[in-house]
Structure 1
Amino acid sequence: MQAASDSVVACEEQQGHSAWPWAASWPLAILTLVSVFNYLDRSLLGLALPAIKQEMEVSDTALGLVSGLAFVVIYSLVGIPIAWAADRYNRRNIIAAGLAFWSIMTAVTGLVSNIWQLAITRFLMGAGEATSTAPANSVIADYFPADRRPLALAIYGTAATIAYAIFFPVAGWITENYGWRTMFMAAGAPGIVIAIMFVLTVREPPRIAKPETKKVSAFSSMGNDLAGLFSNRCFVWIFAGVTFMGANVWAAGAWTPTFFARVHDMGMGQASAIIGPARGILGAAGILIGGILVDRISSAHLPWRIGVPAIACFLVGPAEALFLLGDTTSMWFLGFALTSFFTLIHQGPIYAATVNIVGQRRRALAIAVILLGASLVGNIVGPSAVGILNDLLSPHYGDLAIRYSMLGIAVTPVLSALCFWRAAHYYPQYNRKDS
């Protein structure tokens, strides 16, 4: 019997597939739930923008800057030292503390009275949310073997789609019936409970990598780690690709509800009822199918573990254009459905590839750096650019200006695909055996 078992294990290793670590399923599930509220809480402002614009009487440019810049600056920049600390200290406690803090800030958003107070709450919310994604990716990487990480991180990546499918329609209903302020307060409360549950039920996984022996300052150590990341050609191309996709994802998240309101004359409840299931169900299907496909790719075909996400990103471009320019319901809905399916396929496999090429002591930092590109650059270029273009084009196109303002974000996924294709070329060279 033992001989037969050894033969099975040997066969799995030859095929490049390890057994699924079922004991890690609960930590993966609750980390995914934490990420659900990470995405939900930051996305609620996009749903509330029309009501806030009317109440506070501010321009689209101001709303674009608040929805993008006020959040992303602190989220991206603070994320670097937090991730560096997470590579050395207790990641579970870092995530739990951050979740509790950003949940409080979400609730406080419902109490603001002007655009400046709104910007401050977004700023502080970003500081809290910076504790989540990069440390969580590192934790998951320690719970799962390298060849199982694409699927594990694809499951983790369904958080955004779960937020859209389940909670976004509820938030839209609350907004229409009780106002946008109540929506923020209701969204903030569950995070406190989840933070406590997370600390009580998940342990910090042990690290295999040896601790640093050379005594250097934290600043020098972080600088050395960052230099090491950008000397890795595969990582550089991944960074560029994620940055281009970030512009698309953040702009779409911030302005799609407003697009439905202005172009298709929908209320927020009706818009959220379309956005939620499409982004949720179709998005989750795309993420999981992509994760399963990449999980099945053997070690003999490593480049395709990034090549598949590259193809998915390329297809987002024409799908986005069809959604924005489609005049009939069937055309724009088909475009929106395809966009929802393809947009996040890349996330799990790309994060898995990233942690596989950098080594255990730089995992959280590497994820934080690519999030810096996706969030800081992508968010500033995405939502803010759409807001500025809306104000410039509105005198000529009126409410339809947003259709052409958002068309620019259909180009960025194609550029992302080209970057990921180059990263796939270097992936076998940098894939670490000790990952």
Structure 2
Amino acid sequence: MSATQMLSSPVQDGSAPGRTDASGTVRTRSVVVMLATGTVAAMESMILSGLLTPIKADLHLSDTAFGSVMAVSTLAGVIGAPLFALLTGRFGRKAVLVGTVILWSLASAGSALAGGLPTLILWRALTSFGIAAYLGIAPGWLADLYDRKARNLVFALFMVRNKLGSALAFGLAGWIAARYGWHQAFLLTGLPGLVLALFLLFLPEPRPGHADGLSMEAPRGASWKQQLAVLRIGPYVTHLLAFSLFLSGMMTAQMWLPPFLHRVHGVDNLHATGFLSTVLLLTLPAGPLGGWLTGRYLAHRAWGLPASLAATTLMAAVLFTISFCTGSLRVSEITALGGIVAFGSTAGSLTTLLIETVPVALRTISGSFGAMASTAVSGFFAPWLLGALSDHYGLAHAILIGPLFYACAGLLWTGLALHSLVRKTAA
């Protein structure tokens, strides 16, 4: 029997498919707490971009040096993701999650102590290391609470955390930095995670596979060989690569939008970060609405989710290209808003495909590899590349790699959709 088969051999739970052993109240509470925790995690991940201008001025960093902070932080997350996946098999998901939330909250607050590049790298690396556990654990946790019909909407709500967190990073952190300094911004935004760790401590951990009417024979203690079987699943690997490129586009086109507006169009940093924060908040409904529509009309079709991701991501590539090439500030802002709406409308499907392209018992490791591979490209390679290109050619030209990343992701999802359609037709 193969490693994949050993981990994916389910037995009927005895309860009706689609039901979990958690009440509606527990499921709702879990989504709220996970969303809140994810929002704070996203804020901590994006806050460095929101504070880019004041930190650069205070510590006298080049774009390449600043990109290295993001790159090393991401490398720490890449190392943490598979490590925490193994620890969940030994200690359970909740214990690992609570411990790492405390870790990254303290590390983020510790960033306020940074007095130069080395200490800034150290604190941000510890923050990313801890956040990696949440990124790997949360998708499988939520999938074990909701059946396939409701899952895409739940993951759409789950993905809202990125916009909420980014809005807080650029809006709240930018506001605090403008009035009290960037040191205080790190200190104050690092505290909410400690409160959320307490709430997580009292959440019941769901049983793997129960929402699908299944109970796994041996969900814990899987060997590396068994867990690495996930990398032999073609659709999962294709989606993982597209996911990585998509996040690279977001980390460059969206996260560097305030510095772009500041340098190219002369907008001051407070208004540039405030613009992005406002756009992210105003476009929040696009995610849940898109998640509900795709869940209702496309989730039952094998090609549906990758096709919707391809269409919206290619649209975002076009809109961001216009935004970065126009000489008009108004046109740049409007098309950037359109690009954010486009890719945000199907963001829930990103997590849905990570979970549903693998066996139930591989969900935690699939999420961990998702965090590891996607952040390796989007957080390590992409920021470094943009920083290096910006130092040599200027940010106005370098930022165009963002739409290019989106376009490449869209083409991969197009191929996955066509592959799924051909297989469905052949069957």
Task: Please say whether Structure 1 and Structure 2 have the same fold, judged by a TM-score greater than 0.5.
Answer: yes
1:165–1:281 contact (8 Å) kept in structure 2: no
User: How big is the shift at 1:428?
Assistant: 7.7
Partner of 1:27: 30
1:259–1:403 contact (8 Å) kept in structure 2: yes
SS in 2 for 1:207: coil
Give 1:86's aligned amino acid.
Answer: T
Task: Give the paired residue count.
Answer: 402
2:156–2:348 contact (8 Å) kept in structure 1: yes
Q: Mark the CA change 1:166 to 1:386 in structure 2 (over 3 Å): closer, same or farther.
A: closer
Give 1:419's aligned amino acid.
Answer: L
- Distance in 1 (alpha carbons) for counterparts of 2:124 and 2:422: 41
Q: Mark the CA change 1:430 to 1:184 in structure 2 (over 3 Å): closer, same or farther.
A: farther
Partner of 1:183: 185
User: How big is the shift at 1:212?
Assistant: 2.9
Partner of 2:124: 122
2:47–2:166 contact (8 Å) kept in structure 1: no
- Distance in 2 (alpha carbons) for counterparts of 1:192 and 1:236: 35
- Distance in 1 (alpha carbons) for counterparts of 2:422 and 2:355: 14
Task: Please identify, of 307-316 and 202-211, the stretch whose mean Cα deviation from structure 2 is larger.
Answer: 202-211
1:313–1:342 contact (8 Å) kept in structure 2: yes
- Distance in 2 (alpha carbons) for counterparts of 1:137 and 1:330: 38
User: How big is the shift at 1:346?
Assistant: 4.0
- Distance in 2 (alpha carbons) for counterparts of 1:76 and 1:33: 23
TM-score between the two structures when normalised by the length of structure 2: 0.88
Give 1:416's aligned amino acid.
Answer: A
SS in 2 for 1:206: coil
Q: Deviations over 1:213-237 (max 9, x none)?
A: 9x9x86xx223321x2222111121
Q: Deviations over 1:36-70 (max 9, x none)?
A: 01110111111222212222222211111112x11
**% identical equivalent positions:** 18
1:407 matches 2:400: yes
Partner of 2:72: 70
Partner of 1:61: 64
Task: Please identify, of 77-86 and 30-39, the stretch whose mean Cα deviation from structure 2 is larger.
Answer: 77-86
- Distance in 1 (alpha carbons) for counterparts of 2:303 and 2:95: 36
Q: Deviations over 1:183-209 (max 9, x none)?
A: 000101111111112212x11112343
Partner of 1:135: 137
- Distance in 2 (alpha carbons) for counterparts of 1:258 and 1:426: 39
Partner of 1:47: 50
Q: Mark the CA change 1:300 to 1:149 in structure 2 (over 3 Å): closer, same or farther.
A: closer
User: How big is the shift at 1:261?
Assistant: 1.8
SS in 2 for 1:186: helix
SS in 1 for 2:33: helix
- Distance in 2 (alpha carbons) for counterparts of 1:310 and 1:87: 34
- Distance in 2 (alpha carbons) for counterparts of 1:261 and 1:130: 31
Partner of 1:245: 246
2:72–2:380 contact (8 Å) kept in structure 1: no
Q: Mark the CA change 1:414 to 1:167 in structure 2 (over 3 Å): closer, same or farther.
A: closer
Task: List runs of 5+ in structure 1 lacking aligned partners.
Answer: 1-12, 394-400
User: How big is the shift at 1:271?
Assistant: 1.5
Partner of 1:337: 337
Partner of 1:5: none
Task: Please identify, of 370-379 and 118-127, the stretch whose mean Cα deviation from structure 2 is larger.
Answer: 370-379
1:297 matches 2:297: yes
SS in 1 for 2:288: helix
Give 1:212's aligned amino acid.
Answer: A
Task: List runs of 5+ in structure 2 lacking aligned partners.
Answer: 1-15, 210-214
Partner of 1:397: none
Q: Mark the CA change 1:378 to 1:74 in structure 2 (over 3 Å): closer, same or farther.
A: same
User: How big is the shift at 1:364?
Assistant: 1.4
- Distance in 1 (alpha carbons) for counterparts of 2:318 and 2:135: 29
Q: Deviations over 1:395-428 (max 9, x none)?
A: xxxxxx2111001221111111121122234558
Partner of 1:90: 92
- Distance in 2 (alpha carbons) for counterparts of 1:195 and 1:429: 46
Q: Mark the CA change 1:144 to 1:158 in structure 2 (over 3 Å): closer, same or farther.
A: same
Give 1:38's aligned amino acid.
Answer: A
TM-score between the two structures when normalised by the length of structure 1: 0.86
- Distance in 1 (alpha carbons) for counterparts of 2:395 and 2:334: 19
| Aligned residue runs from structure 1 range 253-332, under 5 A | 254-282=255-283, 284-297=284-297, 301-332=301-332
- Distance in 2 (alpha carbons) for counterparts of 1:121 and 1:27: 29
Q: Mark the CA change 1:430 to 1:153 in structure 2 (over 3 Å): closer, same or farther.
A: farther
Q: Mark the CA change 1:59 to 1:161 in structure 2 (over 3 Å): closer, same or farther.
A: same
User: How big is the shift at 1:391?
Assistant: 1.1
1:312–1:342 contact (8 Å) kept in structure 2: yes
Output the aligned Cα RMSD: 2.6
Q: Mark the CA change 1:327 to 1:204 in structure 2 (over 3 Å): closer, same or farther.
A: same
1:236 matches 2:237: yes
Give 1:390's aligned amino acid.
Answer: S
Q: Mark the CA change 1:253 to 1:128 in structure 2 (over 3 Å): closer, same or farther.
A: farther
- Distance in 2 (alpha carbons) for counterparts of 1:132 and 1:300: 28
User: How big is the shift at 1:274?
Assistant: 0.4
User: How big is the shift at 1:121?
Assistant: 0.7
User: How big is the shift at 1:350?
Assistant: 2.5
- Distance in 2 (alpha carbons) for counterparts of 1:58 and 1:135: 35
